[in-house]
Structure 1
Amino acid sequence: MTDTEKLAYLTEIINLAAIQQLPKATEHFVSDLHGEYDAFDHILRNGSGRIREKIADLFGDALSAKEQTELCFLIYYPEELLQEKQLDDHAWQTLMEQLVTVARYTSSKYTRSKVRKALPPAFAYILEELLYQYDADFNKEAYYNAIFEQIIALDTAPLFCQELAFLIQRFVVDHLHVLGDIYDRGPAPDKIMDRLMTLPSLDIQLGNHDILWIGSYCGSLPCLANVLRIAARYGNLTLLQEGYGIDLSAAIAFSRKHYSENPAFYPRDAVDALSREQKQDAMLLQQAFTIIQFKLEAAVIQRHPEFNMHDRLLLHLIDANRRTIHMDEDYPLINACFQTVDSKEPYRLTTDEEAVINDLMMQFHASLRLKQHLHFLAEKGTLFHLSNGNLLFHGCIPCQENGAFLPFTFGEKSYQGKELLLFFQKCMTQSLAAPHIQDDLATDMIWYLWCGEGSSLFGKKAMKTFERYFIADPATHQEQKNAYYTLREEENFCCQLLEAFGLAATGHIINGHTPVKVRKGETPIKANGRLLVIDGGLSRSYQSVTGIAGYTLLANSFGMTLAAHQSFTNRQKAIEERIDIVSQKRLVVRQSERILVAQTDIGAQLQKESTDLLTKLKQQHHQT
């Protein structure tokens, strides 16, 4: 080994040791986005309130509350607000100096190398000089002033300020965890996917609604029917038509031919106003794909008796006059739309139904934007994730009432707990590799993840879609939750669950999936703080029940903080009226000593790299 090579090893070992002594970077946890792009985008831009806190720390004595808010929103929305600015040279320099101060503060826990990689190429050299101006008041004062003066003279101040604002957004949160349900209900999950694909560091724990879309692309016809039904139910057909280029004309023509006025199937209030024709088509399509869904699901249930879902085969229980259904007893049918159900072969698709669903499947495979989004979702998405001693997953771990994991047998092997989730993950990977195969176990298992008793994403005994549509008695609509949702209130159970996944009992379990009904007094903090639920209703369709507009979680070197959010109308109103959406924060975990990188997963990785380098260095020394 040459002296140069030895010095390189030593330098890297020193660097790795130094990095481990930096404060832990901030993690941001969000869940159940459900297509609410504007609200999600705002939460990313304001760092769940972190930017406002940083500005208060820096300028609390120098700027009024109104001035602080103005600076906040300029950082959140520089594209719009900088266009309004008509400033003189002095004001532009003051603004740039303020933004540089915030950028320096938010980047202070990162290495210079990491900061350098985040800098916009056009201003990288200038920004690096400004962010590390240790002697601005002495030797280089004129130097820094000259930088600002030239930026202004060259009419580049608005662009420079915009890049600084984006840089601050990037620095305030280092890593994003998305705990599932990006898709369905809200109008713009495609925009959320576009945004996620720009982020430098994130992971995704898949939700039950995400798995529907992945299943649809992977060839699962019942998943696809569910996607169409839900899109029609929430008036989001534009997402398919314009967002992903799916031509629904054949499906609309089919539904107009076979279905008629049925008020129960009109879409729920959509975010964007729908025309009378759009509402009418959504009403007809929802009927059509509800029936197609039941038929396609029956085929999966019948070829997989191990799914134990034969109680979900209901079409053959409808009497000949279509007025009642016999389950445990006779129930009158409401909102009936069984025109295409043959009483002799109730689960057989008609020729037209088969043509419609196959056409849509071909279009799903042909949509390049959809393919890009779903491959990214599958690449970044897992059913659970271990991060810095915490266990993240969307819904539940299926359990028995005594706290033991609930076992499920597929093929000839039984799975439970962590192994069950790994099996589901393997099936998803296999199905994604061969998306044109529609009836293999791997693809059918993705649909099972949507609604099967053993699914960690569903977490209930059975999905009562049929009953909610067609039976008036609300007792039949009840979906029995898995015992997990009772057990998760107990600290001992949560500690045992953490240990089952190889984590210390001092960690935390972080879930989404079940909206926290704050209005009814429910708390997101369970099991003496050992488990946190961060689905508080970002989706507008839930907010009348939850009473808030979602929770997010921040974890930094000082501890963990829950942020409860106010309802968010839209981007334009937020900008015009300077409406932020964090209503209150609640400290969940306070660290007695600040957490360092050395105590994180990254720190463990850096220590391993350092040890390996030191070992190689010693080996080379002995050889010479």
Structure 2
Amino acid sequence: MRDIDYLKLLSEKYRSESSVQAEIINRKALLSLPKGNEYFFSDIHGEYEGFRYLLRSCAGVVRSKVDETFGSLMKESDQIELSRLIAYPKKVLAKKKAGGELDDDWYRTTISQLIAICRVVGVKHTRARVREMLPKEFAHAIDELYHVNESDENKRLYYRGIIDSVIAVGAGDAFVTALSDLIQNLLMNHLHIIGDIFDRGPRADIVMDDIMNFPYVDIQWGNHDISWMGAVSGNEACIASVLRIATSYNCFDVLEDGYGINLRSLSQFASEVYADDNCDAFKPHLLDKNKYDKVDYDLAAKMCKAITIIQLKLEGMLIKKHPEYNLSDRLLLDKIDFDKGVVKIDGKEYPMNDINLPTVDRENPYELSKGEAELMRTIKYSFKHSEKLNNHIRYIYTHGSLYLIRNNNLLFHGCIPMTKKGEFMELVTKDGAFSGKNLMDYLTRKINEAYFLEDTDERKQDAVDMMWYLWCGPVSPLFGKDKITTFEHVFLSDKELMNEPYNPYYSLSHEEKYADKIFDEFGINPDKGHIINGHVPVKVSKGERPVKANGKLYVIDGGMSKAYHNTTGIAGYTLIFNSHHLALGAHKPYVKGEENVADIEITEVMKHRLLVEDTDEGAEIKKFIEDLNELLEAYRNGIIKEK
């Protein structure tokens, strides 16, 4: 018999033998439903318009369901128009209203079409689950239309009466929008974000708003996410890194309009210190235009240079504080010969492109100037007190992890660090040496300590410092490279010095035997398992494939960020795992107003249609059924009394 206290607690909800029996019947019925649709996205990088389109179109699945529902009964142009309505109901309705296209017949036809699609996409759900998703204001009307038997003449009249009533009271637009949202929710059952929500793109804050509005989601932290998480946790080097990337990519809207980060102090400081400096090496990438916080191009370059110097100093402080990081080779400010205008790296001198560094003290190059220190205090305060940013970061913490195992799939953003010989690489820390799964578990604990521990806890600062290492350390599973070459990129011309070699994982994992080694490390059946990660853009234009290791590894960073479009040749991947197959959707760059139909490739067909019984959710249901059977036995034996 299970723990009696637990069964007594369970009996508060299921208060009689009959209620337990009813719940067992319900739960067993769930096991026979088809497995729900899982969607995997990676490396969104603030591209909110493209990501929103993929969410609202369910990565092109909406279009296929419209075709499945109506086929040859509806012209292709009408199917495209209906698909766009489902994805963007408010925008499409506003456009049609402006064009005088909306009348009672249009509403009758469209509502009937949307109900038909709802029935097709709702087959994987119980009635109770569908009802949970219904908007409260129209729950009864939609429920009746969804389940009505149209073969009965009286029911057909009832059906038409509901629709006519909706139109008569002027609720047509709201009803169409509610049905469109319902279709999206029925199609996309679970959302996996495989890292890198932030940086480079214009509005990561809007991406986060959309993610938080989705009912079932998990996040695997990426290196760009970890730098923002570190910034909010109080790591000043992470704060500087976040600002450097934002100023470098002209992303002022996300900082000031999105999160209310006041950059006035940075702009004033940069204007004064670099007044006569053109800061050519720091000119921002103009991939997107700021709508609300337009910053002068030259001023943005000055701001980027100012915060870059501060970042290099703060990083130097951390490297000196933590010799166990083994990053002394990244201490380059003290290797500059200002008189000769060169920097010494690995015993060789290289000419500097920019030697105007007025805030760098030659005797103490890693010490912040008085102005820099005051600037960082102001900015740190702004990060700490941004309510929206803190809400977003807390959500990332509570819904996130360094890795996740779900339905035999191992999800993580970057890599499991490996040596060239294919062994798991060790990270030596103050707490000991960790590798493989133990490393991932240890770092997960440190990441959570950085945010959740009280400031008075002696473990807090070490964890906060570690957040910067995770952003760019050579044994960080999030960074996955030998070194980060920020200094070389902005101050030197030699391209070889800017090379950032990837961890051996990225070549070894393409071989099935190393994928199997990782499955064994994480306790996953290698015959059923898949590794799903992002981080490294797949250069489709150069013939690279996202599916590797004989179908066991999926790299789904297809370059959603505009910064990678020329490199990859596409604009991101979506991996879709439904009851029938695994499929990859390759997306074209998002263009507002155009249909962006994904190129869908089925990569693996399941041996049989997967049911809920075959999933992790099914395992949890079976476990709960065992608990219910124990409670049933306790009632029958008189151990627990019925209420």
Do both share a fold (TM > 0.5)?
yes
Q: Counterparts of 2:517 and 2:112 in 1: how far apart (Å)?
A: 51
Q: Counterparts of 2:319 and 2:447 in 1: how far apart (Å)?
A: 18
**Superposed displacement of residue 138, structure 1:** 3.7
Aligned AA for 1:485? Y
Q: Which residue of 2 aligns with 1:549?
A: 571
Matched, 1:391 2:379: no
Contact map agreement 1:424 1:446 (CA 8 A) in 2: no
Q: Counterparts of 1:307 and 1:82 in 2: how far apart (Å)?
A: 56
Q: Which residue of 2 aligns with 1:455?
A: 476
Q: Secondary structure at the match of 2:25?
A: helix
Matched, 1:470 2:485: no
Aligned AA for 2:637? H
Q: Counterparts of 2:219 and 2:452 in 1: how far apart (Å)?
A: 20
Q: Counterparts of 1:125 and 1:276 in 2: how far apart (Å)?
A: 48
Alpha-carbon spacing, 1:322–1:457, altered in 2? closer, same or farther (3 Å): farther
Matched, 1:496 2:486: no
Contact map agreement 2:287 2:563 (CA 8 A) in 1: no
Q: Which residue of 2 aligns with 1:319?
A: 337
Q: Provide, for residues 41-98 of structure 1, a one-character-per-residue CA deviation record: whole Å limited to 9, x for no partner.
A: 0000110111111110111121000010010011111101112143332332111100
Contact map agreement 2:200 2:246 (CA 8 A) in 1: yes
Q: Which residue of 2 aligns with 1:419?
A: 438
Aligned AA for 2:612? V
**Superposed displacement of residue 281, structure 1:** 1.7
Q: Counterparts of 1:252 and 1:126 in 2: how far apart (Å)?
A: 55
Q: Secondary structure at the match of 1:582?
A: coil
Q: Secondary structure at the match of 1:561?
A: strand
Q: Tell me, which stretches of 5 or more residues in structure 1 are unaligned?
A: none
Q: Secondary structure at the match of 1:385?
A: strand
**Superposed displacement of residue 205, structure 1:** 0.4
> Of the candidates 275, 300, 310, which is equivalent to residue 328 of structure 2?
310
**Superposed displacement of residue 435, structure 1:** 7.4
**Superposed displacement of residue 616, structure 1:** 2.1
Matched, 1:286 2:308: no
Q: Which residue of 1 aligns with 2:317?
A: 299
> Of the candidates 265, 271, 278, which is equivalent to residue 282 of structure 2?
265
Matched, 1:382 2:393: no
Contact map agreement 1:13 1:610 (CA 8 A) in 2: yes
Q: Provide, for residues 510-558 of structure 1, a one-character-per-residue CA deviation record: whole Å limited to 9, x for no partner.
A: 0110000011111001011100011001000100110111111100000
Q: Secondary structure at the match of 1:28?
A: strand
Matched, 1:21 2:28: no
Q: Secondary structure at the match of 1:272?
A: coil
Contact map agreement 2:556 2:574 (CA 8 A) in 1: yes
Q: Provide, for residues 439-488 of structure 1, a one-character-per-residue CA deviation record: whole Å limited to 9, x for no partner.
A: 82100111110001111110011111111111111111111211100111
Q: Counterparts of 1:439 and 1:10 in 2: how far apart (Å)?
A: 49
Q: Counterparts of 2:597 and 2:584 in 1: how far apart (Å)?
A: 10
Contact map agreement 1:392 1:509 (CA 8 A) in 2: yes
Aligned AA for 2:567? V
Q: How does 1:549-588 map to 2 (within 5 A)?
A: 549-569=571-591, 573-574=592-593, 579-588=594-603
Q: Which residue of 2 aligns with 1:31?
A: 42
Aligned AA for 2:300? A
Matched, 1:74 2:85: yes
Aligned AA for 2:166? I
Q: Which residue of 1 aligns with 2:537?
A: 515
Q: Which residue of 2 aligns with 1:221?
A: 236
Q: How does 1:600-619 map to 2 (within 5 A)?
A: 600-619=615-634
Contact map agreement 2:454 2:460 (CA 8 A) in 1: no
Aligned AA for 1:422? D
> Of the candidates 172, 180, 184, which is equivalent to residue 169 of structure 1?
184
Q: Counterparts of 1:395 and 1:134 in 2: how far apart (Å)?
A: 51
Q: Counterparts of 1:463 and 1:378 in 2: how far apart (Å)?
A: 25
Q: Provide, for residues 206-229 of structure 1, a one-character-per-residue CA deviation record: whole Å limited to 9, x for no partner.
A: 110011111001010000000111
Aligned AA for 2:408? G
**Superposed displacement of residue 583, structure 1:** 3.5
Q: How does 1:91-490 map to 2 (within 5 A)?
A: 91-259=106-274, 260-272=277-289, 278-321=296-339, 323-328=341-346, 329-434=348-453, 440-490=461-511
Contact map agreement 1:203 1:380 (CA 8 A) in 2: yes
Q: Counterparts of 2:327 and 2:460 in 1: how far apart (Å)?
A: 17
Aligned AA for 1:262? C
Matched, 1:47 2:58: yes
Aligned AA for 2:584? L
Q: Counterparts of 1:25 and 1:62 in 2: how far apart (Å)?
A: 28
Matched, 1:525 2:547: yes
Q: Counterparts of 1:452 and 1:496 in 2: how far apart (Å)?
A: 24
Contact map agreement 2:59 2:598 (CA 8 A) in 1: no
Q: Which residue of 1 aligns with 2:4?
A: none
Alpha-carbon spacing, 1:41–1:108, altered in 2? closer, same or farther (3 Å): same
Q: Provide, for residues 183-208 of structure 1, a one-character-per-residue CA deviation record: whole Å limited to 9, x for no partner.
A: 00001000011111111000000110
**Superposed displacement of residue 250, structure 1:** 1.2
Q: Counterparts of 1:270 and 1:481 in 2: how far apart (Å)?
A: 26
Contact map agreement 1:537 1:548 (CA 8 A) in 2: yes
221-230 vs 492-501, which moves further: 492-501
Contact map agreement 2:252 2:290 (CA 8 A) in 1: no
Q: How many pairs align?
A: 617
Q: Counterparts of 1:82 and 1:530 in 2: how far apart (Å)?
A: 44
Q: Provide, for residues 494-521 of structure 1, a one-character-per-residue CA deviation record: whole Å limited to 9, x for no partner.
A: 1121121111102100011000001111
Aligned AA for 1:366? H
Q: Which residue of 2 aligns with 1:535?
A: 557
**Superposed displacement of residue 619, structure 1:** 3.2
Aligned AA for 2:203? A
Matched, 1:59 2:59: no
Q: Counterparts of 1:490 and 1:156 in 2: how far apart (Å)?
A: 57
**Superposed displacement of residue 153, structure 1:** 1.5
Q: Secondary structure at the match of 2:601?
A: strand
Q: Secondary structure at the match of 1:510?
A: strand
RMSD after superposition: 1.8
